[in-house]
Amino acid sequence: MSIDIYRELVDAVVYLVDAADKERFAESKKELDGLLSDDSLANVPFLVLGNKIDIPIAASEEELRYYLGLSNFTTGKGNVNLSDSNVRPLEVFMCSIVRKMGYGEGFKWMSQYIK
């Protein structure tokens, strides 16, 4: 489904990546880059979730940042006030949806940037 028709309604983007599927990191990066460079999403906070960390071969957070090209672009966990800057909030949180862990912190982080 195209995101186009929703663009003006988007408050945030949650980008879910399978951290255990390293073969598709390049594809994930390409898709993410497309969203990050989309003008209509320029000020929208991005939460990147690296899922399936219950699988032993899953990438670490640092690896995922690296493969997605985000090593120098994440804006910090916790409460980081970016309202006086032109910087778009962006963070990576690792999670396991089946184990119900990790994503809560990510959504909590993201909620501080949604008006």
Instruction: Quickly tell me which residue has 């909590």 as its tokens.
Output: 108
Determine, following the binding rule CB under 6 A, whether residue 26 of this chain makes contact with ligand GTP.
no
Q: Which of 44, 48, 49, 52 binds ligand GTP (CB under 6 A)?
A: 52
Closest separation between CB of residue 15 and ligand GTP, Å? 12
Residue 65 in the binding site for ligand GTP (CB under 6 A): no
Tell me if 80 contacts ligand GTP by CB under 6 A. Answer: no
Please state, in angstroms and rounded to a whole number, the distance separating the CA atoms of residues 77 and 107.
11
* Other CB atoms within 10 Å distance of the CB of residue 88: 17
- In the complex with ligand GTP, the residue whose CB is nearer, 68 or 89, is 68
Nearer to ligand GTP (CB atom), residue 18 or residue 63: 18
Establish if 28 lies at the interface with ligand GTP (CB under 6 A): no
Element (H, E) at 62: helix 61-67
3-state SS, residue 20: coil
CB of 8 vs ligand GTP, minimal distance in Å: 25
What sections of 43-98 are H helices per DSSP? Answer: 61-67
Q: Are 49 and 106 in contact (CB under 8 A)?
A: yes
Binding site for ligand GTP (CB under 6 A): 18, 51-52, 54-55, 96-98
